[in-house]
Structure 1
Amino acid sequence: MWSVKKLAQNHICTTTTYSFISNGNMGFTVIFLLLTCVFAQREHTCENKPDIIHTFEEILTCKDKIFTSNFNKGMMDSTCSQPRDTVVPIISDEPGIQYIPSTVVVKKCAGACLHQLSCIPTEKKMVPFSVRRHREGESITCGTIYVEEHVRCKCNCRVMESHCIPEKQEYDRRACMCRCMNMDEKEECEKSGRLWDQKACKCQCIKEHDDCTTGHYWVPTLCRCMRMMDDDNNID
């Protein structure tokens, strides 16, 4: 049997808790979780991190009743339907500000969708939370913050046709993306050794700007410094 510290170092704080709760040992679960997180705090590993590798255990048939029931439940639970409880951080727009609590639980859209669709909210609302506001060297103040919560969800494209650049992009509904139409410019851009910006549908320099020497200026279309012309040589 692994030690508590070993379990903490292997990021199974949440997984182990669920395992013991399902067996009905609530008292031992609380003690175990506290000890695990104490050790893990020192290593900064007590986080709810997803497993990277999953072991597959094959069964004899997919028609097994228990398997079918568990499979259907898993599909329903993971599909985009209703907003679900999600822990979100409270972030201040002022530097040095800390809120207590630093996180709150709100409903957010999440879940699997077919093809290239994403689980996005179709209705939102702002939910109030009572918090304490603290800045080092100042007294604690109390007040209310408002956090966005999702009310209804649906599977839809995250990138919509309205996001496309007129006259430069066409909307691919099946792929949920904007595609550049000026592909001839892309070809010329890549031939010249520059970078093609797929989102803006325009050519960019490998480096945005170069410090030109005295008497020269930066030309974005050529991605290099050019010599300045005196007034006698300028063409109006």
Structure 2
Amino acid sequence: MKFLLFFLSSTCLVRQAVQFEGFQCTSQHVQEAVTTISACAPREVVIQLPWPNNTDIQQMTPSHVIVQRCTGGCSPLNPSCLPSQTRMKKIPVIVAKCGIKLGICDKECSSIELEEHTACKCACALTADDCGEHHMFSKSECACKCTNLQDKRRCLESGKQWDETSCRCTCPNIHCSQPGEVMDISSCKCVEQTHIQTSRTLLNMSSEQLLSLEILIIIFLISTVTGK
């Protein structure tokens, strides 16, 4: 521990941010920072009780309770604080069923069961099943990584933005200020709404419909040339 504190104090420099001033780390500062780490463990948290399915209930006491839930910091490889052991806690409640007449309510006693965490662990909350079609689960990074890397490279080279969630190329956050203009995803430019509708109509057409359209265009062009 002494070696770690010495190493950190001699090499560490706090990252600067807008609301903080960076300064050279001291042994005391590093020790205080390390000892104030809130590790993953069950802690008391306030949660709102789920409302009963009975639609006749207008009031419930209590509405919020304190239970033990896993919370705290973990490592980058296992970033999520998850429960490893749980138990059910029964919460006594009083509910009020109010009739049509104002001020007349029938009180009933009941209970609601809540899950309480008794032990915690640091782990990756994601699995391969959580990843999409174009994703691959990376256990070392605890993340779903896009597999279509060539599409990502072409997207970034074209000046667009890459969405890691959908593994698709998207447009930068540009607001179209002119009335009647919308964002064209293919060009990432603001165009008139009619142009977008025409493009979508062509994209939704089948190959036979597109062939028929091409034939009509060719016949029109031929008739125009011969007419001259």
Deviation per residue, 1:10-66 (Å, 9 max, x gap): xxxxxxxxxxxxxxxxxxxxxxxxxxxxxxxxxxxxxxxxxxx899xxxx9629xxx
State the Cα distance separating 1:118 from its structure 2 match. Answer: 1.9
Q: What number of residue pairs does the alignment pair up?
A: 163
Partner Cα distance (1:119, 1:174) in 2 = 17
Matches within 5 A, 1:83-94: 83-92=42-51, 94=53
The answer as to whether partners of 1:79 and 1:111 remain within 8 angstroms in 2 is yes
> Do the aligned partners of residues 62 and 126 (structure 1) sit closer, same or farther apart at CA in structure 2, a change above 3 Å counting?
same
2:151 equivalent to 1:181: no
Question: Does the C-alpha gap of structure 1 residues 150 and 191 become closer, same or farther in structure 2, counting only changes over 3 Å?
Answer: same
Residue deviations 1:101-145, cap 9 Å, x none?
011111111112122512111232322111122365473332111
Alpha carbons of structure 1 residues 125 and 229: separation in structure 2 relative to 1, 3 Å = same
Q: Which runs of 5+ in 1 are unaligned?
A: 1-52, 218-223
> 2:62 aligned with 1:101, yes or no?
yes
Return the alpha-carbon distance in structure 2 between the equivalents of residues 89 and 233 of structure 1. 57
CA RMSD of superposed structures (Å): 4.7
1:234 to partner: Cα distance: 7.8
Question: Which residue of 2 is the match for residue 115 of structure 1?
Answer: 76
Normalised to the residue count of structure 2, the TM-score between the two structures is 0.51
Partners of 2:116 and 2:27 in 1: CA distance: 42
Answer 1 or 2: which has greater strand percent.
Answer: 2
State the TM-score, normalized to the length of structure 1. 0.49
CA distance in 1, matches of 2:34, 2:112: 39
Quick check: which has more Rg, 1 or 2? 2
Q: Which residue of 125, 150, 153 maps to 2:120?
A: 153
Superposition pairs of residues 1-236 of structure 1, within 5 angstroms: 62=28, 74-75=36-37, 78-81=38-41, 83-92=42-51, 94=53, 97-116=58-77, 117-134=79-96, 137=99, 139=105, 140-165=107-132, 168-187=134-153, 196-202=162-168, 225-226=200-201, 233=209
